[in-house]
Amino acid sequence: MDAMSFVLPNHSVRVLDADPTSWRRRRSTFLATLLVIVSIGCTTSELRGQEAAAHEDDHINKLSEFLSGVKLTGHFTVTGRDLGQLTAEEYYILKAEKLSEGDFWSITARIKYGNNDLTVPLVLDIKWAGNTPVITVDRLTIPGMGTFDARVIIRTDAYAGTWRHDEVGGHLFGTIERLSAEELAELRKSVSQRDNKSP
């Protein structure tokens, strides 16, 4: 018989597949099904991980290309000052390259604001808000210029954010454009001169 029945007071109990070999077959089938499900889940997870890594690499490559050989031109405000007194600023970036450690990038740049004009190598932290890069500066000291703190987002051909230089701070914003051949040659010359002066 494949099943047997017995009666308790007010209850009817039916025990199916009393044959122990039938239970073993069902258990084997269940375990096999479970292994298939787990295997599919692991494979799907691996594929998602690979897709995420490829997506991240694509972001990095595009940002590196976008930020190399460009000029950021804009203005910045100073908290407490009249907004009609905006100061111009220019950042020339020769090369932007992702480093192997964390979210750090090597930025070779020339910075011009006010009476300052310096060509410096920078290591900046660039985070991602979705697909939008955010330059993140946490108390970065630049020799000859002071200590800076900033959050600057980059979107299409524009940038905007907040800044702080020592005890002074405000907002900044501007546009991003490709350097002309002449500007690129001048920037390379400036970087070369800086490197030659380095001990």
Do 172 and 74 fall within a single domain? Answer: yes
Instruction: Read off the pTM.
Output: 0.66
Do 34 and 73 fall within a single domain? Answer: no
Do 131 and 161 fall within a single domain? Answer: yes
Is the pLDDT higher at 170 or at 191? 170
* Boundary of a domain, candidates 47, 62, 77: 62
Long-range contacts of 167-173 (CB under 8 A, 24+ apart): 168/78, 168/79, 169/78, 169/79, 170/76, 170/77, 170/78, 170/79, 170/81, 171/76, 171/77, 172/74, 172/75, 172/76, 172/77, 172/89, 173/74, 173/75, 173/76
Confidence of residue 50 (pLDDT cuts 50, 70, 90): low
Domain that holds residue 113: 67-197
**Least reliable range by pLDDT among 10-19, 80-89, 117-126:** 10-19
Sign of the C-alpha dihedral computed for residues 72, 75, 77 and 78 taken in this order? positive
* Boundary of a domain, candidates 15, 46, 62: 62
Do 164 and 124 fall within a single domain? Answer: yes
Q: What would the mean pLDDT of 116-121 be, rounded to a whole number?
A: 78
Do 179 and 111 fall within a single domain? Answer: yes
In the block, residue with structure tokens 């979705």: 130
Per-position DSSP letters for 140-167, written without gaps between them = EEETTTEEEEEEEEEETTEEEEEEEETT
- Return the pLDDT at 54: 58
Do 72 and 57 fall within a single domain? Answer: no
Q: What would the mean pLDDT of 115-124 be, rounded to a whole number?
A: 80
Do 163 and 90 fall within a single domain? Answer: yes
Q: What would the mean pLDDT of 50-76 be, rounded to a whole number?
A: 84
Do 77 and 31 fall within a single domain? Answer: no
Q: How many domains does the chain have?
A: 2
How far is the CA of 146 from the CAs of 17, 33, 123, 166, in angstroms? 82, 64, 15, 6
Do 78 and 43 fall within a single domain? Answer: no
* Boundary of a domain, candidates 62, 81, 103: 62
What is the CATH classification number for the domain harbouring 152?
A: 2.40.128.120
Q: What would the mean pLDDT of 137-156 be, rounded to a whole number?
A: 88
Q: What is the DSSP code (8-state) at residue 2?
A: -
Is the pLDDT higher at 25 or at 128? 128
- Return the pLDDT at 99: 94
- Return the pLDDT at 190: 77
Is the pLDDT higher at 192 or at 50? 192
Confidence of residue 5 (pLDDT cuts 50, 70, 90): very low
Confidence of residue 30 (pLDDT cuts 50, 70, 90): low
In the block, residue with structure tokens 């490559």: 61
Confidence of residue 121 (pLDDT cuts 50, 70, 90): confident
Q: Which of 8-17, 26-35, 73-82 has the highest mean pLDDT?
A: 73-82
Do 97 and 22 fall within a single domain? Answer: no
Q: What is the pLDDT of residues 141-150, one digit of tens each?
A: 877 778 989 9
**Least reliable range by pLDDT among 9-23, 80-94, 142-156, 184-198:** 9-23
